Chains A and B, each alone.
Chain A
Amino acid sequence: MMTAIQKLGRSSIQLCGNVGYAGLFLIKTLVRKPRPIKGAPLLIQELYSIGVFSLPIILVASIFIGMVVGLQGYNILSKFSATEQLGQLVALSVVRELGPVVAALLFAGRAGSALTAEIGLMKTTEQLASMEMMGVDPLWRVIAPRFWAGVISLPLLTMIFCAVAVIGGHVIGVEWLGIDTGAFWSNMQASVDFHLDVLNGIIKSVVFGFIVTWIAVYQGYATEPTAAGISRATTRTVVYSSLAVLGMDFVLTAIMMGGW
C-alpha cells in the first residue's frame, strides 16, 4: 500500500519535473530576437513539410466526415420531419467541435509524429550536437521554425477542414438526399454565428496547434538517443498530444459556453 502511494508520488513529481523542463525549453525557444531575413526561408520550408504534407489526409478525412455527419443527421432529423435543419446540424457540429478536434488529432498523427522522429533522429545522429559545436543554436535553427510552422499550419488546416466538411454535408444532403439548397444554406446561416462559432473554432485550433507542436518538438528534443528511444518518443507524442487535445477541448468549450 505504501509503495503504491510512493509510486504515485514519485511519478507525479517526475511529471511536474518534465512539464517544467518542457516549459523551460519552450521559453528558451521562443524568447529570442527574431531574425526575419534568415528565419523566413526556414519557416517556409517547414510550413511546406508540416502544413502542405498534412493537406491530403485533412482533405480526405474532412470530406468523409462531412458526408457521414450529413447521412447520420438526415436519418435522425427525418424522424422529426426537420430535414431542412441538416445544414445547421452539419455546420455547427463541424465548425464548433469536429473540425478543430479531428484536424488536431490527424495533425498529431501525421505532422507531430514526423516532427518528433525527425528531431529525435537529428539528436541521435549528433546533428544537433554538431550544430552546437559550429556555434549555431539548434533551438533557433531547428526547433523554432518547426514550432512556429506547426502553430501556423493547424489553424489553416482547420479552416480547410471545416469548409470541405460543410461541402461534404452539402453533397450528401442536397445532391444525394434531395434537400432544398436554399433551405440547407439559409438554415445554416441563421444559426451559425461568425464570432461565436467560426472564430471560437479557430481559437481552439490555434491552442491545439500550440499544444501538439510543443509536445512534438519537446519529445523529439528530449529523445533518448537510440533507435528504441525515437520510437518511444514518437508514440508518446501521438498519445500525449491526442489526450491533451481532447482534454483542452473540454476546457475551452466550457469557457466558451460560459458566455465568452
Chain B
Amino acid sequence: MSLQSPSSEQQIEMLTQMLRIREFEERVKRTFTEYPGVIRGHTHLADGAEASIVGALSHFKKGDAALATYRCHGYPLALGTDPKAMMAEILGRADGICKGLGGSMHLTDVANGFLGTSGIVGAGIPHAAGAAWAAQIRKKGEVVFCFFGDGASKQGAFHETLNIASLWKLPVIFVMENNGYNVVTTSEQEDANAAAGQPLAIKATSYVMPGVTVDGTDPLAVAEVVGHAVARARAGEGPSLIESKVYRLSAHGNIIAPPGVPLHYPEHEAITVFGKREEYEAALRGDPVPRFRGKLVQSGILSGAAADALNAQVAAEMDVAVKFAVASPFPALESALDNVYA
C-alpha cells in the first residue's frame, strides 16, 4: 500500500492548522491573566500535540467521525469548527458551540464530524467503536478517529474495546497520544510496557491489530502512519492502534484554587514534581510548531514572509474569537432546563 505524500498546499494547510491550535491554546492560557475569572473549572491544553492532531486528521473525510477526551480544543479547530463558538463555550456563554452546557472538556461539533468528548479517562473509547459499528453497517467506507491519552490505556474500557473492535473488524483508528505523563505520574510508574522499556503500541499485539509508534511531533510522519491505518479501516480490514509520541508543553490542566482567582497554568509536572527542567526545556527546543514552520521555509514550500503573514492571520483570528467570547452574553437561566431529554 503506497500513500501519496502531502502536496505543498496540503503541507501549508497543516502548518496553518497547527498554528491555529497553538494560538487558540495560547489565548486560553492568556485569558487567565487578561480576563481573570472568565474561565471556570478545568481546562486542558493541546499545545505540543498539534502535529499529531493535524497529521492524523489530514485523512478525515466528510462522513467520518472523530471522538476525543477532555483535552479537546485541537480537534474541532482542525475539523473546521468556528473558534469563536469554541471560545464562547469555554467561557460558558450563550454563543458557545454547546450553548454553555459543556465547557472546555466537552466541546462537540456534530456538523463537522466531532461527535463527542468524555471527561472520564478512557470512557470515550467504546463510543468511538460504536460509531464505527454504525459506519460498518452503512458500508460507505467511513471511518472513526478515536483520540485518547496514554493514561487511558490502563482503563478496562480501552482493553475491552480494542478486543471487540478487532473481533468485529470495526473501521476505527485508535490514536493514543502518549505525552509521557498521566496527570502527574510518568508512564513508567504506571504502565508495565513502559516500565519494561517497550513502546505502548505493543498493546495492539494482544488484540491482533497493527500497532505502530510514531513521532507525534512530525505531522508528515503521523499523516503517513495514520494514512495506512485509515486505508486499512476503509477497506474493511479493521482497526489499528497508533502510539503518537508527543510532549505536553503545558501542565496537565490549569490550577484550581477555590474559591476562585487566580487560576492559571503552573509549570509542567516534569519541573514541579520531578525536577527535570532539562527534559522540559529539551521538549520546548523540539516544539513541533516552529519546527514544521522552519522545515517548510527551509524547503522553499513557504517563504519566510508568507509564514509571518500566516502567523499574523492566525493571531488576528483568535483575537477576534476571544473578543467575541468575552462579549457574548451568558445563556438565559431557563436554558439550563433544556436539552435534558431529546
Whether chains A and B associate is no
Interface residues of B (CB under 8 A from A): none
